[in-house]
A and B are shown apart, each in its own frame.
Chain A
Amino acid sequence: MITWKHGAAAAAWIAVVVVYASTAGVYYAGLGATVGILALLGLGMILVTGYAGQFSLAVGAFYGIGAYGSTILTVKYGWLGLLALVVSAAVAAAVGFAIARPLFRLRGHFLAMATLALTEVFYLSVNNASFTGGSTGLGGIRPLSVLGYTFTSSASHVILNWLLVGAVLWGALMLRKGREGRALLAIRGHEAAAAAAGINIPSSKARIFTASAVVSAIGGSLYAHQVMYVNPPPFGLQTAIDVLMIAVLGGMRSPWGAVIGAIVLEGLYQVIESVLPGLLGSAAVGAGQQLSVGLLLVVILVLRPDGVAGALGSLWARRRPSEPLAPVPAAGETDAPVRSMTELRRQEDATPSTIGPVVLSARGLIKRFGGVVAVDGVDLDIHEGEVLAVIGPNGAGKSTLVNLLSGNLPPTAGTARIGDVETTALKAHEVARQGLSRTFQTPSLFEGMDVLSTVKVGAHLRGKVGMLRSSVPTVAAMREEQQLTAEAREVLRRIGMEHLADKDAKSLSMGQQKHVEIARALVSRPRLLLLDEPCAGLNKAEKASLVSLLRSLGRDGLAILVIEHDMEFVMASADRVQVLNFGATLRVGTPEEVQQDHRVIDAYLATSPTITDDAPAEVNHG
């Protein structure tokens, strides 16, 4: 995975940086150094908000820990610059790690507010403490020196900063392609699906937040040694807004956005600085600059929310409509009319499956939402090698039941076990570890991921590579990645989707997306597969191939639960059928038994008013 292309790119990067540093005058070199630090901060934000999708404004605080940390340690205690930098970064990491878990229980606004408060707390603390120089700040910082070389000149700052930017950029780009990067993108894309794939969400969020804190802190230390003076204002809301602007300008899709955004932002500042004094007098430059940034932020967002919103990970990212893709060819499809599903089933049953012991067993499951009982005392057993279909009218509680079994929702009462392990109170990613995989009723693919990567997310639990080894891959890490890729391709081949491996998953048709979801669920080699309405959006041929797939998976020993409305599909694919109505089990039996059960027919069709078990005393003839 590390090819000569990487080497060439690195060489090119270094060349550009060195050339700029040597040819730019002092002013532009200084500017270049500043932009470098901004880019570092932007990269920090991309890691948390771009990759993991968490809206955090805490950058100012960590930036400040780095800057003030380096300052205090070198100026007041005479430490070595490099040591101070490392220790400050470590402090930032510790703080970040400590607050990450409680903090990320918050979402959206509340997370933004909490992180904003964090930044303000830092700002006020350093502003009011004499130890940190109060509002005047601290000066007398000496340039950073490493191994005898002192970074005094602006040109040297440019080289140092941009080499670091290059390193972090490279790490971020590698991270994205690795296991942990996929996990983060999955978290951002669809948390429930990520958890169902076994990703430990709080842990991943904590780690990336820590990484982001370290990057920001290093930026702060560099700032201190280059500006040689620190005071509170750069470490408050101002920086948070700068970084938001970088995100808005450069986009959050790729770490490159941080670099581009930083360059554009500084360019804007230069323009503002040259234009404003003429307009407003030199005293007004600070406020004028802020005003311009604020207005720009507002105007850009109002005029171009799609382009920017896509960058910030909203649901309404604008995409160009893709050309219609050929439908997935079903196994054995020809120009001949599609065989009826019943015939298909008879053919599949020529090789019968063996129904083994119980894999999942639930007793007395109840789920209440406020006053509504969605699941009312359901018992359920699924055996190895069997396909159990769960059917029932709308609102019967089927999806809720699946959510209870998969750990996406906690039950109000009742128990569930997978094998010997009690899974009642387990969270989704823990249940996944017990060998359960599932698909979702509404599309749950991940924004901005191709089919192959999406499927590889499903194999998360089969890998071990974490954040660091995703960014800086070792040989073992690369081997694991190759293995996961091979397994993902194999699954795609099995369901006939291999030719679509590199397409953006969300650009596929509904039917194909459903297949990708199933592939994602299969690649973890589960014992138990829960499918929530897999037929929605599929055409007849696709449904037929799904029948074959389910039967063949059953023969392989997989236990499968399917929620479906398509009765033909249910009859053709299921070994047993469990009918739910008003959250309770109405009937369990073979497809034939269920089809002929009066009560089942009634539930789906509703009877005439003459059948009234509980007619009220006064009949409202309406």
Chain B
Amino acid sequence: MEVTMQVLLTALALGALYGALGIGFVLVHRLTAMVNFAMGDIAVAGAFGAVLASQVLPPLGAIAAGAVTAGVVSVIMYHLTLYPLRHHSLMVQTIVTLGVGIAIRSLLQLIFGTGPRQFAPITPGPSFQILGGSIPRQSLWLIGLAIVGYLALPLFFDRPLSGKALSAFSVNAYAAGIIGISLPVMATIAFALSGAIAGGVLAAQVPTSFITAGAGLALGLKGFVAAILGGFDKLGLTLVGGFLVALTEVFVARNISAAQASTIVFLLLIVLLVLRPEGLTRKVAADRV
């Protein structure tokens, strides 16, 4: 059983996807202290938006449209469900996101059916050969997009006042409110970013594989593992976490059983949550509710 170059390259691309989903989780959690169980399905909605858009736009444009779609869906979800319930328990908010996730998933299924969808890659052509493994050109775009997203975020968080305000909210939501930063405005930004990044990167992955309406649950769970590995806090570690998840999955798929790869990842999630909920970070997660 070797970790070949191919395994690494495939994991790199897949990991960027899981990392992007994880970043989506973390952004929402930073602001609202809750886990958005609809994250995966929102990303899938974005991917389908890209699929639709690909009929009139070139692939890059379609991917952008996908990001926008996911961002919009995410914001709508926040304002229709989470904002009205913002004073209620986190449990109620969690169940609502579960419901939204199912609703999105089944709606997509009704509209698009259960079959796989795809569209053309941004730059057509053969895959790149690197040290014995091959990686599709589109995957490089995917990784690039994820990295761009990751780099852009801190710039956004640090410089313009809005970004700092978002940071402030995640540090001390009460104090942020006291000095006049508006929760709905900040939440809109956070949910929009969360959806756009996850949806955009997933859309970028579609040309190299495909997308189905029911993919949201598994994607969400894997993105969640990435977020856990990042301590639900550090974006960079979330990307690394995504890579580790993907590595595990691809490795298991090649060497043990393709069918059980996801299963093993989820088992690892349970083990991780129980044994090391702070993931790769050094701080011990306080009793998180």
Contacts from A to B (Cβ < 8 Å): 55, 99, 102-103, 105-110, 112-114, 116-118, 120-121, 124-125, 128-129, 237, 241, 244, 248, 280, 284, 287-291, 293-298, 301-302, 305, 308-309, 312-316
Assembly CA distance A280 to B109 (angstroms): 12
B288 within 8 A of A: yes
A106 pairs with B92, CB closer than 8 A: no
A244 pairs with B266, CB closer than 8 A: no
A108 pairs with B94, CB closer than 8 A: yes
B288 pairs with A108, CB closer than 8 A: yes
B289 pairs with A109, CB closer than 8 A: yes
Q: Which of B81-89, B141-149, B174-182, B242-250 contacts A (4 or more CB under 8 A)?
A: B81-89
B14 within 8 A of A: no
Assembly CA distance A309 to B92 (angstroms): 6
Minimum Cβ distance to chain A for residue B92 (Å): 5
Known: A109-B94, A291-B110, A314-B91. Is A120-B274 also a contact (CB below 8 A)?
no
Enumerate chain A residues within 8 angstroms of B274, measured Cβ to Cβ. Answer: 102-103, 105-106, 114
Question: What are 8 contact pairs spanning A and B, CB under 8 A?
Answer: A113-B37, A117-B270, A124-B262, A124-B263, A237-B217, A291-B106, A291-B110, A312-B91
- Per-position binary interface string of chain B over residues 79-113, scored 1 when its CB falls under 8 Å from any chain A CB and 0 otherwise: 01100110111111011101111111111011000
Assembly CA distance A104 to B234 (angstroms): 25
Q: Contacting A298 at CB < 8 Å: which of B96, B110, B270, B287?
A: B96
List the A residue with the shortest CB-CB distance to B217: A237
A297 pairs with B98, CB closer than 8 A: yes
Known: A120-B217, A125-B263. Is A108-B90 also a contact (CB below 8 A)?
yes
Assembly CA distance A298 to B274 (angstroms): 30
- Per-position binary interface string of chain B over residues 249-268, scored 1 when its CB falls under 8 Å from any chain A CB and 0 otherwise: 00000000101101100110
B226 within 8 A of A: no
Minimum Cβ distance to chain B for residue A373 (Å): 18
Contacts from B to A (Cβ < 8 Å): 34-35, 37, 80-81, 84-85, 87-92, 94-96, 98-107, 109-110, 217-218, 221, 224, 257, 259-260, 262-263, 266-267, 269-270, 273-275, 277, 287-289
List the B residue with the shortest CB-CB distance to A312: B91
Enumerate chain B residues within 8 angstroms of A108, measured Cβ to Cβ. Answer: 90-91, 94, 288-289
Minimum Cβ distance to chain B for residue A213 (Å): 15
Assembly CA distance A325 to B267 (angstroms): 54
List the B residue with the shortest CB-CB distance to A298: B99
Enumerate chain B residues within 8 angstroms of A129, measured Cβ to Cβ. Answer: 259-260
Assembly CA distance A129 to B98 (angstroms): 28
**Chain A contact residues: helix, strand, loop or mixed:** helix
Q: Contacting B88 at CB < 8 Å: which of A109, A241, A314?
A: A314
A117 pairs with B269, CB closer than 8 A: yes
Known: A106-B273, A291-B103. Is A302-B96 also a contact (CB below 8 A)?
yes
A110 pairs with B99, CB closer than 8 A: no
Known: A55-B91, A314-B89. Is A107-B106 also a contact (CB below 8 A)?
no
Known: A102-B274, A109-B34, A118-B270. Is A316-B89 also a contact (CB below 8 A)?
yes
A290 pairs with B260, CB closer than 8 A: no
Minimum Cβ distance to chain B for residue A200 (Å): 18
Enumerate chain A residues within 8 angstroms of B267, measured Cβ to Cβ. Answer: 117, 121
Enumerate chain B residues within 8 angstroms of A280, measured Cβ to Cβ. Answer: 110
Assembly CA distance A301 to B85 (angstroms): 8
List the A residue with the shortest CB-CB distance to B289: A108
Known: A112-B35, A287-B107, A312-B89. 6 other contacts (CB 8 A): A108-B94, A129-B259, A287-B109, A294-B100, A297-B99, A302-B80
Enumerate chain A residues within 8 angstroms of B269, measured Cβ to Cβ. Answer: 113-114, 117
Interface centre among A106, A121, A314 (most CB of B within 10 A): A121
Q: Contacting A297 at CB < 8 Å: which of B102, B110, B262, B275?
A: B102
Known: A124-B263, A128-B257, A302-B96. Is A106-B277 also a contact (CB below 8 A)?
yes
6 closest Cβ pairs, A-B complex = A297-B99, A294-B103, A314-B89, A294-B102, A128-B259, A291-B106
Minimum Cβ distance to chain A for residue B229 (Å): 14
A290 pairs with B106, CB closer than 8 A: yes
Known: A120-B266, A125-B260, A316-B88. Is A294-B110 also a contact (CB below 8 A)?
no
Enumerate chain B residues within 8 angstroms of A116, measured Cβ to Cβ. Answer: 37, 221
Assembly CA distance A386 to B72 (angstroms): 66
Enumerate chain A residues within 8 angstroms of B35, measured Cβ to Cβ. Answer: 109-110, 112-113
Enumerate chain B residues within 8 angstroms of A316, measured Cβ to Cβ. Answer: 87-89
B88 pairs with A305, CB closer than 8 A: yes
Enumerate chain A residues within 8 angstroms of B105, measured Cβ to Cβ. Answer: 290, 294
Minimum Cβ distance to chain B for residue A371 (Å): 14
Assembly CA distance A85 to B37 (angstroms): 34
Assembly CA distance A189 to B136 (angstroms): 55
Minimum Cβ distance to chain B for residue A14 (Å): 35
A312 pairs with B92, CB closer than 8 A: yes
Enumerate chain A residues within 8 angstroms of B217, measured Cβ to Cβ. Answer: 120, 237
Assembly CA distance A316 to B275 (angstroms): 32
Q: Contacting A120 at CB < 8 Å: which of B80, B109, B221?
A: B221
List the B residue with the shortest CB-CB distance to A236: B217
A284 pairs with B266, CB closer than 8 A: no
List the A residue with the shortest CB-CB distance to B277: A110
Known: A301-B85, A302-B84. Is A113-B266 also a contact (CB below 8 A)?
no
Minimum Cβ distance to chain B for residue A615 (Å): 31
Minimum Cβ distance to chain B for residue A349 (Å): 45
Assembly CA distance A302 to B259 (angstroms): 39
Assembly CA distance A316 to B90 (angstroms): 11
B101 pairs with A294, CB closer than 8 A: yes
List the A residue with the shortest CB-CB distance to B221: A117
A109 pairs with B90, CB closer than 8 A: yes
Interface centre among A125, A295, A302 (most CB of B within 10 A): A302
A298 pairs with B103, CB closer than 8 A: yes
Minimum Cβ distance to chain A for residue B245 (Å): 13
List the A residue with the shortest CB-CB distance to B259: A128
Q: Contacting B102 at CB < 8 Å: which of A105, A109, A241, A313?
A: A241
A121 pairs with B88, CB closer than 8 A: no
B273 pairs with A298, CB closer than 8 A: no
Enumerate chain A residues within 8 angstroms of B87, measured Cβ to Cβ. Answer: 316
List the A residue with the shortest CB-CB distance to B273: A114
List the A residue with the shortest CB-CB distance to B224: A113
Assembly CA distance A402 to B151 (angstroms): 47
Assembly CA distance A124 to B262 (angstroms): 8
A291 pairs with B107, CB closer than 8 A: yes
Assembly CA distance A412 to B104 (angstroms): 49
A124 pairs with B94, CB closer than 8 A: no
